[in-house]
Structure 1
């Protein structure tokens, strides 16, 4: 048996006090009780029917993991190398290795862009490299996703955004395949011309893009 709710218990108590000689007062209380019961239900229904106004597309797990591994490896090399040269040449000799380490870290984290799709604005963020870019949808002419080839035969994706003023901007596009397809569908729903020129790359690239 379904347990009685608080509103049902109040209704039962109200019916138990029903007086045919004073019906106006009863029905006012009963209608007030019904109105109170409808309010949370309507609020819940409205919340369920309201579509999201913002979508966030973060880098894939594999991209985060790859960046972390590289930074850890460079950190270990810096510590090992730093101890050796510190003993031989002193603290001043650590300046160049530390600066090199910071450059490597910055170069790696700047690849981890997050894309935010809002009602009127498209945002590109990267808190680690202090990237914060906004574009109005009405200013965007088209988008194109490409796969580039870097050092050591490494491949990665970029998104090329062309504005209606003729300017072109490129950003690393490090999301997974499933999120990429979701992003493309969302752009098409917003009537933004978008093409996907990123082939699957090699087996390893294809595998990493799934995560």
Structure 2
């Protein structure tokens, strides 16, 4: 024989039962005022309970810089100074370029300057993604709600192919950037995009 368990009621159900137990035609107006208030309170609780939870993101900065920004800037300025001296020497004495070693030095310095100038820093917070691209600290800001989709891909073939990120906005405009994230940083970035409901196609 099965034992019948006692019926349990919520606080609102208990209050409603008590109100109905006190209902008479003489207190009909007061009853309906109290009962409607109880219904409104229960409806408000249901709406509050069913509200979607908003995930917040703690600020994070991603980059692949081997040296701090100030050190990188100082190296760049020093290299540009040397290139300037070489340029002045070439201007005053064109025969200066006749040496293969001197040409190799100038080309190497130019490549080093370019490498130091261009980089990518991804600054992420709960409101937006900020990407800084070079030593001038020129930054591009993207509010999360304005991003429609992202694609992470290799720009070319082979192991040395550059990884890039394309950002498609709700205006259908596309922005392209170097993508400096690998390993755990890459996985963390994908997780953040998932929290922000951004469609992402990662091909790396």
TM-score under structure 2 normalisation?
Answer: 0.50
Would you say 1:143 and 2:150 are equivalent positions?
yes
| Match of residue 58 from structure 1 | 63
| Match of residue 40 from structure 2 | none
Superposed CA offset, 1:94-125 (max 9, x none): 8x999866753453235420101111111001
Partner of residue 156 from structure 1, selected from 162, 177, 180? 162
Distance in 2 (CA, whole Å) between partners of 1:97 and 1:186 is 45
Would you say 1:126 and 2:133 are equivalent positions?
yes
- Offset at residue 155 of structure 1 (A): 0.9
Distance in 2 (CA, whole Å) between partners of 1:130 and 1:101 is 24
Q: Are the structure 2 counterparts of residues 91 and 52 from structure 1 closer, same or farther at C-alpha, using a change threshold of 3 Å?
A: farther
Superposed CA offset, 1:140-199 (max 9, x none): 10111001127x97312101100000000110002222211110011101111111012x
Q: Are the structure 2 counterparts of residues 119 and 92 from structure 1 closer, same or farther at C-alpha, using a change threshold of 3 Å?
A: farther
Contact 1:142 1:161 in 2 (8 A): yes
| Structure 1: runs of 5+ lacking an equivalent | 1-50, 199-211
Partner of residue 90 from structure 1, selected from 88, 93, 100? 93
TM-score under structure 1 normalisation?
Answer: 0.49
Q: Are the structure 2 counterparts of residues 178 and 93 from structure 1 closer, same or farther at C-alpha, using a change threshold of 3 Å?
A: same
Decide which structure has the larger Cα Rg and report it.
2
Q: Which has the higher helix share?
A: 1
Distance in 2 (CA, whole Å) between partners of 1:187 and 1:149 is 25
Would you say 1:194 and 2:181 are equivalent positions?
no
| Match of residue 177 from structure 2 | 171
Partner of residue 124 from structure 2, selected from 117, 121, 139? 117
Q: Are the structure 2 counterparts of residues 189 and 100 from structure 1 closer, same or farther at C-alpha, using a change threshold of 3 Å?
A: same
- Offset at residue 55 of structure 1 (A): 1.2
The SS at the match of 1:113 is strand
| Structure 2: runs of 5+ lacking an equivalent | 1-55, 98-102
| Match of residue 4 from structure 2 | none
Q: Are the structure 2 counterparts of residues 125 and 165 from structure 1 closer, same or farther at C-alpha, using a change threshold of 3 Å?
A: same
Partner of residue 111 from structure 2, selected from 104, 117, 120? 104
